[in-house]
Chain A
């Protein structure tokens, strides 16, 4: 056996008089077939390495191995999920495609919102880096998703961050909360992007594996859409932005595609380090390049860095590219070719430029003081050739790197333990023994719920994000959806919400995914927008565990079915697997983002009460659906079946909320989800410090439930709305015409400054606020 070739750690031949590296050329590889390569260390499996050898007809060079290892990683290749994800395409009807300008497969989907405007949006995960290095992990998560948006030709206009942490009182949680929140703020605020929403969940199941998802949305004119491909033989290939360094090497393969194991060394070197200033300049520079029409195709460098950009650009275009790798500008001159190909240094873009536009391109880059280097050109050879100082170190068919990676039909089966879990409903369980009854107990229960980690005010977090910048934010947290104006003349705009409930998905992954979509859809409609399209970030444990794989398969089936039923297509997203520590996977957590459109954001519906005397209506019906609820969670119970998703009802509720918004029939609306009616009433009151008198009897009688169940059950397809007196008849007529249950449960009382649940209890708003807003500062300072 001959000497191993170093790939990731070059400690060889640094003396200036000797060749810089032992360069493993294609010629050398052909002549040394028996050389052992560290493919296992780079995350490749035995069969995958043998497949690479088969494709090439020889052993790969060190550089080729680097490329295949990152591009065939789970993170980049979707090898375990691909077979399932097809359903998102297969179940799309022509009607659903009506507003779709660019679908799944590009950097981000693009949706037509009318008047020649389009919106592109996508959610991605940065879970493992954020656990290893919270600030940089979360920051570069924002940076990465924003570059996806730029590369479609759009100006980014907002971000959102769904976050899931371990138990709030665990000693490690404060480290993650402080680091991740300040990382998101530090990067997003510096880019000038308003942060308009997201989620924050605490659950011990995420202790060793927090979920840090980032969503970005951008706007563009139809004619400005750009796709990432390298067309036009002889066109030049340029790399620009930050220099390439040693950070993030193997981020996609070693970090994102493996489970954490307490016995292994820290993976900190695989986390990228971001510089938001460079990205902000890159945004403006790219938009100017687009405006001047001097780039043919553009690709952001994210996971797998140059390996990904060159192979994807080449295989999506004319099929060939010739690159000289020594032209890459480096932060660290000791990097080997393999490391340069794998580096995930941030704030870099690759573009294809016609020879006649080279001068114009350079002028714009110079204006913004952005560094660039011309790496090579587009060819029609069907080969991606990468040279190092003139010697060929990569000679591959780019399709085999970018698209023809392994696809696994992973075995999956329904966990045997699920029957027992599903049979263990909350009602009647040991944890339900002391169910609150009577006024004092119910009052205390509402305060306890609203102070709990998941239901408490998230202001401590969201006030660290800029929600005002760009001047187009019409709604932001804590409203149900974030709303952004797109066109200042007409008020045309969009609404966005992200939602998931890991406990629901744990109890029933098929239903859980449908519930995630239902809630995000409902939130968007509650703001008054018409839901148009979906992005998803599917966070799961190891696909090599057949039970996790079953959760994944069921979730994809559930989400794709639900998308068809609600008529909203998935336009893109991300799969994050291997979210587990020590063999215990996180709850299946399919985060669903829904995009809706407004003809005029001036008519959006906020979530809090304002006007004295307005009538409060509860829309929808309530059943005993406490399994998986926040209340059951507070009592330490997780069992039974999640609430039932009734998508036909969701659609009808959405129509009512959208029409009511358009015709001025409601002044506020708040959806009912986690925490049920109790949470919706408290949040509606605290939003603008306006109280209400509410009666529960009529609903309890109609639905055959008690006051506790009405307050804490999490039945779906419900909302509370405040209706001006003058609009009551029109509003109730509309509900009747649509056969949608609506009962007047109370009246807004601006003088009372308390929430009065009549015949039960009264709580002053100050007391509620103290409970609701005190929790996060108490834990995090």
Chain B
């Protein structure tokens, strides 16, 4: 690494990583969108690179999607969480394009979108996913290693996990309590759209321990925990394999690359 890239200034996140790029997948272009106040954009881009893909920096005010194959809306406090988390970002020019592309009529044309933390909040504000997030039930910001159960591996972002697999991924937020009305929650459960559930304790009061959900088509996934912070041994959560060695989040990024190559979803 020879420079500290400037978010939004550079056309791509071009800095190298220590991980070897997986052969054949580096052609997949995953967009990472930056809003004013986005924080985890460089981290998400690093995760894409470690998984073997090419990360493309997108600016919220860009008019077009620059031909990316999928989009990650990373964590942070876009627009300072003014009004409500995600409420203003939803109206960014690029979000309009993403909403259109994610809802495309044919399955093959639907843009895969992953919303992490603030990104999940933006997806619910955009009505791409149901429900909403309110302040944690304990009213404090919480940074902890959350244990999640994979409830649905049939989405564009979760194919590399096994159903029922338990993974450890950092969680860090103030407004992480997932809520929706009972009808919506029942529907999510009935259709198998609950993608991740907290296990071993509910860290924020989320309804039915929901940590992440998907849409029916499976191209859109949103979750509050941060898989991009569990992709590189030495900088992740503690794990059985060693201290700070947890890389359970990497599956999100390899899943999307495999999905794109394999043409499913």
Contacts and interface: CB of A to CB of B under 8 A. Distances in A.
Interface in B1-47: 1, 3-4, 6-9, 15-18, 36-37, 39-40, 42-43, 46
Contacts of B242: 610
A150 to B, nearest CB: 13
16 contacts: A185-B141, A186-B141, A189-B141, A190-B39, A280-B36, A284-B6, A284-B7, A291-B6, A463-B144, A464-B140, A467-B143, A474-B234, A489-B16, A491-B18, A602-B234, A610-B242
Contacts of B80: 190, 275-278
Contacts of B174: 186, 189
Contact of A468 (B6, B9, B143, B234): B143
Nearest to B8: A284
A348 to B, nearest CB: 17
A155 to B, nearest CB: 5
B138 to A, nearest CB: 8
Interface of A: 155, 182, 185-186, 189-192, 219-221, 275-278, 280-281, 284, 287-288, 291, 367-369, 462-475, 485, 487-489, 491, 601-602, 606, 608, 610, 688
Contacts of A182: 140-141
B17 A488 contact: yes
B244 interface: yes
Nearest to A469: B39
Given A182-B141, A280-B77, A192 B234 contact: no
Contacts of A610: 242-243
Interface stretch (B123-131, B225-233, B250-258): B225-233
A221 B82 contact: no
B212 interface: no
Nearest to B142: A463
Interface string B31-65: 00000110110110010000000000000000000
Contact of B172 (A189, A280, A368, A475): A189
Given A277-B80, A610-B243, A471 B228 contact: yes
A155 B143 contact: no
Contact of A464 (B4, B76, B141): B141
A464 B142 contact: yes
Contact of B9 (A219, A291, A464, A472): A291
Contacts of B3: 221
Given A220-B4, A288-B8, 16 more contacts: A186-B141, A186-B174, A189-B141, A277-B79, A280-B37, A287-B4, A287-B6, A368-B36, A463-B142, A468-B170, A469-B39, A472-B235, A488-B18, A489-B18, A491-B18, A610-B243
B238 A277 contact: no
A464 B39 CA distance: 17
Nearest to B75: A469
A291 B4 CA distance: 10
B143 A466 contact: yes
Contacts of A287: 4, 6
B235 A487 contact: no
A522 B196 CA distance: 43
Contacts of B17: 488
A566 B243 CA distance: 31
A113 to B, nearest CB: 14
B1 A190 contact: no
A469 B244 contact: no
Given A488-B16, A610-B243, A471 B235 contact: yes
Interface in B128-180: 140-144, 170, 172, 174
A548 to B, nearest CB: 37
Contacts of B39: 190-192, 280, 469
A470 B38 CA distance: 11
A637 B206 CA distance: 48
Given A155-B4, A220-B4, A488-B17, A471 B141 contact: no
User: Which 8 pairs across A and B sit closest by C-beta, in order of nearness?
Assistant: A277-B80, A192-B39, A471-B43, A468-B229, A488-B1, A190-B77, A489-B1, A466-B172
A473 B174 CA distance: 21
A624 B143 CA distance: 40
A192 B3 CA distance: 19
Contacts of A186: 141, 174
A610 B40 CA distance: 31
B234 A470 contact: no
A468 B243 contact: no
Interface string B85-105: 000000000000000000000
A469 B172 CA distance: 9
B232 A465 contact: no
Given A220-B4, A284-B8, A606 B243 contact: yes
A688 B77 contact: no
Nearest to B76: A192
B243 A688 contact: yes
Given A470-B43, A488-B15, A277 B82 contact: yes
A487 B16 CA distance: 10
Contacts of A464: 140-143
B61 to A, nearest CB: 8
A361 to B, nearest CB: 14
Interface in B165-207: 170, 172, 174
Contacts of A469: 39-40, 43, 172, 229
